[in-house]
Amino acid sequence: MLDVVARPLLFALLLAQAQRVRASIEPLPEPPGPRGGREGRGGSELGLLVVGDSSAAGVGAPHQDLALARPLARHLAQRLQRPVRWTLVAQSGLTSAATLAHLKAHDVPAADLAVVVVGVNDITGQVPQAAALKHRGDIAVWLEAHAGVAQVLFPALPEMERFPSLPQPLAWWAGQASRRNNRAQARWARQWPLARPRVVHVPMDGVMRPDLMAVDGFHPGPGLYARVAEHLAEFIARDALAQGFSKENA
C-alpha cells in the first residue's frame, strides 16, 4: 500500500513520466493472421476464446502464429490430445469495461472456456480496483450467457516494474499496482459466488522476462508469448482435466 500513500506526493513526477513514455513509444500494430481456427485432430472439440487487450491481440509479435491465441490452442490440443477450436476477440487499448463493450459488439461463438487478458490498461487508466473487478465479473457472466462458457480464466498481470520502457519511480509504482491487482483478483476469484461460469485466477510467477519483450519495451515479444502460451496451456490442461474436459470424458 506504500504506492497508494506515495502517489499524491509523486503525482506530478509520475504524470510527467507517463506522458513522456506515451510520447516516446512508437505504437506497434496488431499482428496479421487468422483470428480463429482449429488445432489438433480426433476426439471431441474444445472451444477456446481468447479475449482482451493488446497482449491478447498479440501486439509485439510479427504474426498471429507467434502471438498468444493460436500457440495456446496448439499447446492445448497437444496436451489434451483433442482438437481445439479457437477464436480471438481482442483489441489494443481495452480496459476491462471496454473489453465487455467490445464483446457485445461482436458475434462471439460458443465455447467451453475463455482466457481473458486485461488489467494493464485499467492500471494505466487509473481505473479503481473494485470497478475493474466488477467489469471482469460482468465479462464472465456475459460469456456464460451469450457463448455458453463454463470457465473463465484471468491471468495475473506481469511484474510491470520490469518493463524496460518504464523509468523510475513510474516502474516501481506500476509494479506495486500490478501486484495489488493480482492479490485482489486472486481473492475475488476465490470468492466468486456463481457455480457457472467458474472464474479462475491464473498465477504467472516466473514467466516474465524483460529480455523477451518487444522493441517498445511494453508488450511481449514472440519469445515471451511462447512462454505465456505454454504456461497457460499447462495450467488449463491440469485444471480442465479436473473439470472433465479430458479426452476420456470427451
**Domain layout of the chain by residue ranges:** 2-26+42-249
Under CATH, domain 2-26+42-249 is a member of which superfamily? SGNH hydrolase (3.40.50.1110)
Kindly state the average pLDDT of the residues 144-168.
97
- Give the pLDDT band of residue 8 (cuts 50, 70, 90): low
Please tell me the predicted confidence (pLDDT) of residue 245. Answer: 60
pTM: 0.92
Minimum mean pLDDT range among 43-57, 108-122, 157-171, 233-247: 233-247
More confidently predicted of 79 and 8: 79
Percentage of the chain lying above the pLDDT 90 cut: 83
Is the pLDDT confidence value at 6 over 90? Answer: no
User: Is pLDDT above 50 for 47?
Assistant: yes
Contact 99, 89 (CB under 8 A): no
What are 197-216's pLDDT values in tens digits? 999 999 999 999 999 999 99
Phi and psi angles of residue 138, each rounded to the nearest 5 degrees, phi first: -65, -35
pLDDT of residue 72 exceeding 70, the answer is yes
Average pLDDT over residues 83-88: 98
Query: Minimum mean pLDDT among 2-6, 36-40, 58-62, 174-178: which range?
Result: 2-6
